[in-house]
Amino acid sequence: MEDMEKYAIVQKDMESFAVVPSTPTGLVTPEVLHRIAEVAEKYQALVKLTNAQRFALVGFKQDALPRLSGELGIPLATPAGSVVRSVKACPGSVTCRLGQQDSLSLGMELDKRYHGRSLPSKFKIAVSGCPNSCAESAVVDFGVIGTRKGFRIMVGGNAGANPRIADELTTVETKEQVMEIAEKVIECYEKNARRGERLGKMIERIGGIEKFREMVLGAE
Ligand code: SF4
């Protein structure tokens, strides 16, 4: 696999590595679970569930890394760096009795389109199926919250050492409109952010959500 550094994270001992199989929206099949278990057993790896709805497999030597994606039978996620991270989603209307929108299929579509794309800083996306926001859509760079009428789109949130609650950018009615807005937000961020600057910081630097709204959606 080319550019293994993109997929493996060196650990505290500076000798072993962690990898993260790609499981967008946290959905996994029994077959994937079997393969993860087999690989973990073979390499005596530690398996840690992450906050991003993924399995981190920890404890590989460098020479094993190029084989792992093939042995797992699924691609590896890009778990670190200035890229779009795997999309997080709650169960939404597929299984949750409170769900108002299908967060899983929208999350999958966003993941397919953006996961791994290089941007000025890390970029997190989350989709929740109702205003309870179980996927924590208000503390990611691009958050979607399902409502009875459609979707609220939140931008510029982050957790971490200096948390920031996202600003509401707009509301839309359809999944297709969410995808259109996602493209505009990401393009605007890519073009205007400084290196290492998260979206929330950029929004503050340029003068706030009104200014950002104007840049992304034009004068409404
Ligand atoms: S955000 Fe709503 S739809 Fe999603 S899991 Fe929570 S309660 Fe269910």
User: How remote is the CA of residue 30 from the centroid of ligand 1, in Å?
Assistant: 24
Judge if 105 and 133 occupy the same domain. Answer: yes
Report the number of distinct structural domains present in the chain.
2
User: Taking Cα atoms as reference points, which of 60, 64, 56, 32 lies closest to residue 44?
Assistant: 60
Confidence of residue 124 (pLDDT cuts 50, 70, 90): very high
User: How remote is the CA of residue 25 from the centroid of ligand 1, in Å?
Assistant: 13
Q: In the predicted model, is pLDDT for residue 210 greater than 70?
A: yes
| Residue 98, ligand 1, Cβ within 6 A | yes
Of 93, 95, 103, 144, the residue with max ligand 1 atoms within 8 A of its CB, to mutate for a pocket test, comes to 103
Judge if 68 and 97 occupy the same domain. Answer: no
| Residue 107, ligand 1, Cβ within 6 A | no
Confidence of residue 7 (pLDDT cuts 50, 70, 90): confident
Q: Cα dist. 91→98, 151, 195, 196, 216 in Å? A: 10, 16, 34, 32, 29
| Residue 129, ligand 1, Cβ within 6 A | yes
Beta-strand relationship, 17-19 and 55-60: antiparallel
Q: pLDDT over 70 for what percent of the chain?
A: 97
Instruction: Output 88 or 8, whichever has higher pLDDT.
Output: 88
CATH assignment at residue 144: 3.30.413.10
Q: Is residue 152 part of a domain?
A: yes
Judge if 56 and 108 occupy the same domain. Answer: no
Q: Is residue 78 part of a domain?
A: no
Q: Which atom of ligand 1 is nearest to the CA of 101?
A: 3
Judge if 186 and 93 occupy the same domain. Answer: yes
Judge if 42 and 98 occupy the same domain. Answer: no
Domain that holds residue 185: 88-217
Q: In the predicted model, is pLDDT for residue 1 greater than 50?
A: no
Single pTM value for the model: 0.93
Judge if 93 and 191 occupy the same domain. Answer: yes
| Residue 94, ligand 1, Cβ within 6 A | no
Q: What is the pLDDT of residue 220?
A: 56
Pick from 30, 46, 72: which residue ends a domain? 72
- 46 - beta bridge partners? 58
Confidence of residue 69 (pLDDT cuts 50, 70, 90): confident
Average pLDDT over all residues of the chain: 94
Judge if 192 and 92 occupy the same domain. Answer: yes
Q: What is the pLDDT of residue 184?
A: 98
Confidence of residue 216 (pLDDT cuts 50, 70, 90): very high
Token pair in block for residue 57? 């497999």
DSSP string spanning 192-203? HPPTT--HHHHH
